[in-house]
Amino acid sequence: MSTDREAVIWTRLGGKPNRMGRLYVTDKECRFSYDENYLQLDLPGLGIVYAPEFYGNTTISRERKKPFDLFPPIQSLIPPRQTDNFQRNLALKYLQTKKNKQFSSSDTTNFNTDWEILKISGHGGIGHLDVFENDSSAENWYANPPQHELMEISDELGFSLKQFMTWFEEDIEVFIQTVGPTPSVGGAIPKLLLSIPESGWDGRIGLPTREKTPGIIDIVLKFEQTTRYPGIIELEMLALEMHREAGFDVPRYWPCFFKGMPALAIERFDRDQNNTPLCSETLYSILASGIPLNNHYDYRYDLIARAIDVSPVELVSDTVDAKHHLFKRLIMALLTGNGDLHLENLSISCNKNIKSFSRIYDPTPMRAYAQHDMLSVMPFGEYGETPEGSEEAISLKQAVIRFAKNCGLNKTQRKDIINDCLEKTSEFSLRVGELKTVPDENKERLITKTEFVRKKLQE
């Protein structure tokens, strides 16, 4: 027995809040209808696939089917059901401490809980969609943004995040009392959405902005779980720097300490200089809106290149440029030991009607860690596969050549990109060696693995 559920979707796209439409969830389907008024505004909608231009005022319906109870762009506002997920636990704790709220914590991994989480942390997060229980909560939320205030991260915040990370419950409570419900942000690494001075990190933080806030920018703050991933902040910074040097558009970032814990503050690419949301959607959300996918690496890079060309829905504005970007990103990932370039680590941003791959995020050299030491989380160029009628498996070099072809590159273009990436990463090993917080064992693993790839690509 279940009851249909209902929520409203609003957005601050374009600078001021508008209701986009209504969401219904039955036991079998999720359904969404755009508001007539919203359609008149000619703004982006729920997502690249579920765009107003394709659906207009026809209700969009989607069967509820694992792993999606909701439209993928909305599902991505809910932190995953893993019991050790920081964002989810934060939201659960908030639900449990909220007064006058009957919330049973006996089963926290069901859709009922997802729905409760969505209602409290489904607004103000990454991207442009704000989900609310009803219009009056939405109107109230937009009409009463707290006066923006920068606070020193001092002991006055009254909680120790370090302890918080190890799940000392009492600290979570204080944290929640201090910052309230936190907007959701995906991924596995503990992180918070915050704001800081536009000039950069200076030890003061504020809550994420909800309106134009001159002199303030929004950031993602990623924490280092030193036991699980020692030195990951330094590694992520090095990878961001290598990507910048290789010509990619990389957001500003600042290494910092948050209550004694190493952290990395990264400027958000889904907000403009007026703190207005820009639409951005992960490739996972986009692709899963159109085809069945079981998880965020259930695909092939070659198929992304193909989708860029043949998808009936325009994924990017400049398809040639996007395929070159994709090829170069994979080469850089191979050369910097990031085997984790999955569909949630690639996003499409849309700015003034131009759709393109977003700025770089999460290029972390995860091969440094034994539990993530793999060349690539998704297949490319049929690497390691044995084509029919052949005796031999496809080598790394051959796979790169095949993938380049699928990205529309000719031989010269392919060689130019590879040589450029090789040159721009020529000091990678040296720089890994100089990192201070990464244990030798992890440095050695990363250097060995990436040097092997370099050799193969140079052949």
Ligand X SMILES: Nc1ncnc2c1ncn2[C@@H]1O[C@H](COP(=O)(O)OP(=O)(O)OP(=O)(O)O)[C@@H](O)[C@H]1O
Q: Which residues bind Mg ion (CB under 5 A)?
A: 187, 345, 362
Q: Which of 186, 231 has the CB closer to ligand X?
A: 186
Q: How far is CA 432 from CA 114, 189, 330, 338, in A?
A: 40, 21, 20, 13
282 makes contact, choosing from ligand X, Mg ion, none, with CB < 5 to 8 Å by partner type, with ligand X
CB of 367 to ligand X, least distance (A): 13
Report which of 222, 231, 218 is spatially closest to residue 264, judged by C-alpha positions: 222
The closest of 191, 238, 172 to 436, measured between CA atoms, is: 238
> Which of 49, 90, 266, 333 forms a contact with ligand X (CB under 6 A)?
266
Rounded to a whole number of angstroms, the distance between the first and last alpha carbons of the chain is 63
Please identify which residue in 126, 221, 330, 438 interacts with ligand X, judged by CB under 6 A: 126
- Which of 38, 269, 380, 428: binder of ligand X (CB under 6 A)? 269
Q: Which does 41 bind (CB under 5 to 8 A by kind): ligand X, Mg ion, none?
A: none
Is there binding between residue 333 and ligand X (CB under 6 A)?
Answer: no
Question: In 3D, which of 205, 182, 347, 195 has the Cα closest to residue 275?
Answer: 195
Tokens representing 243?
């990507």
Closest residue by beta carbon to ligand X: 187
Q: Is the dihedral of CA 146, 148, 153, 154 positive or negative?
A: negative
Amino acid code (one letter) for 116: E
Find the part of the chain contacting ligand X (CB under 6 A) among 11-19, 65-73, 103-111, 185-193.
185-193
Asked if 275 is part of the footprint of ligand X (rule: CB under 6 A), the reply reads no
41 and 259 Cβ atoms separated by less than 8 Å: no
Q: Does 67 bind ligand X (CB under 6 A)?
A: no
User: Minimum distance from CB of 219 to ligand X (Å)?
Assistant: 8
Q: Does 336 bind ligand X (CB under 6 A)?
A: no
Of 188-227, which residues contact ligand X (CB under 6 A)? 188-189, 220
Residue 251 as a binder of ligand X (CB under 6 A): the answer is yes
Determine, following the binding rule CB under 6 A, whether residue 302 of this chain makes contact with ligand X.
Answer: no
77 touches ligand X (CB under 6 A): no
Task: Candidates 33-41, 56-64, 128-136, 184-192: pick the segment binding ligand X (CB under 6 A).
Answer: 184-192
Per-residue burial over 145-184, b if 16 or more Cβ lie within 10 Å, else e, is eeebeeeebeeebebbbeebbeeeeebbbebbeebebbbb
Restricted to residues 155-174, the positions that interact with ligand X (CB under 6 A) are none
**Candidates 132-140, 179-187, 391-399, 404-412; binding stretch for ligand X (CB under 6 A):** 179-187
Which of 254, 161, 255, 145 minimizes the C-alpha distance to 206?
145
> Binding ligand X by CB under 6 A: which of 114, 234, 270, 302?
270
Residue 234 touches ligand X, criterion: CB under 6 A: no
Residues binding ligand X (CB under 6 A) = 126, 185-189, 220, 251, 266, 268-270, 282, 340, 344-345, 347, 361-362
